[in-house]
Structure 1
Amino acid sequence: MLRMNVEKLMKMAGAVRTGGKGSMRRKKKAVHKTATTDDKRLQSTLKRIGVNAIPAIEEVNIFKDDLVTQFVNPKVQASIAANTWVVSGSPQTKRPDNLENLKRLAEHLQKQAPGTGPAAKQDDDEDDVPELVPGETFEAAADENQAS
């Protein structure tokens, strides 16, 4: 079994050259990737989708299972056509004690918002299709219009 001599090992470590005359050059240049590259790529993709900034949003809460991710004063961007929402800011993950109360409050607020919820869908359906008079059909009404 070989035994290493600590003094000889320390002498060899001290003799290693990391730079200076006659030292070996690097074979590969180290590439430092910055976070701004990723951010620029994300912003260009969002521009292509056509997102618009939504101002004056004070708080965003995302409910998932029994956790709530909360953003305070976030930057919110949306593209309704692409069904894409971007929320950026510093998140805080919480496990609330009264999760059921928060869920009920979120559902209540969603029903109150104009143009959302089941009440808005019912109103749209009523405007699209006119009601028929009992006993009449579309064919009879069309024949009546052609005769006159």
Structure 2
Amino acid sequence: MNVEKLTKMAGSVRTGGKGTMRRKKKSVHKTTATDEKRFQTTLKRIGVNAIPGIEEINIFKDYVVLQFVNPKVQASVAANTWVVSGTPQTKELHEVLPHMFDLLGPDNLQHFRNLTAEHFLAATAAEEGNGDVPELVAGETFEAAAEEGHTDTS
């Protein structure tokens, strides 16, 4: 047999057993459009409404900031649901700090100060740590306790 003829035969795919028709081309299912429609249907069912006029959203998580610029925001207060759509940018907390003070109101400013203080205290503690193991009891070390067979079960 010819090699070209064999590759052509291998390229066509059977959908069933012997004697069934061969498929002419592979069908590719697009699920993203279906998922998006299903998602929008669910949002309509719970009654979300679009909130216009939001220019920026910042979500703080573990000293990393997810920043959405000009997002599409939808909310349903009754269902306690907020939907933020858009392309996020991931930034470090120290990159966003100078601009945050202008955006925060007086209510959130104290919470933000506490968050940044914790971040900088953790960063300085990590920089100052020299890797030494602290002593078990004043004047004793792990090696001395192991040599003496000292085990404290309290």
Relative to the length of structure 1, the TM-score reads 0.53
Long gaps (5+) in structure 2: 13-20, 109-154
Give the 3-state SS of the residue equivalent to 2:22 in structure 1.
Answer: coil
Deviations along 1:90-127, one digit per CA (max 9) or x if unpaired, are 1111113256x47x849952727xxxxxxxxxxxxxxx
The AA in structure 1 aligned to 2:107 is K
State the Cα distance separating 1:51 from its structure 2 match.
0.4
State the Cα distance separating 1:66 from its structure 2 match.
1.4
Q: Which has the larger radius of gyration?
A: 1
Q: d(CA) in 2 for partners of 1:110 and 1:53? A: 27
Pick from 11, 26, 32: which aligns with 1:35?
32
Relative to the length of structure 2, the TM-score reads 0.51
Pick from 90, 105, 130: which aligns with 1:109?
105
Q: d(CA) in 2 for partners of 1:94 and 1:86? A: 21
Deviations along 1:37-82, one digit per CA (max 9) or x if unpaired, are 1111010000011000000000001110011111100110000111
Q: 1:14 to 1:98 in 2, by over 3 A?
A: closer
The CA RMSD measured in Å over matched residues stands at 3.6
Q: Give the structure 2 partner of residue 117 of structure 1.
A: none
Q: Give the structure 1 partner of residue 73 of structure 2.
A: 76
Q: d(CA) in 2 for partners of 1:108 and 1:89? A: 22
In the TM superposition, 1:1-148 aligns within 5 A as 13-16=3-6, 17=9, 18=11, 25-26=22-23, 30-97=27-94, 101=97, 105=101, 108-109=104-105, 111=107
Task: Give the length in aligned residue pairs.
Answer: 99
Q: 1:110 to 1:32 in 2, by over 3 A?
A: farther
Q: d(CA) in 1 for partners of 2:77 and 2:102? A: 20
Q: How much identity, in percent, do the aligned residues show?
A: 60
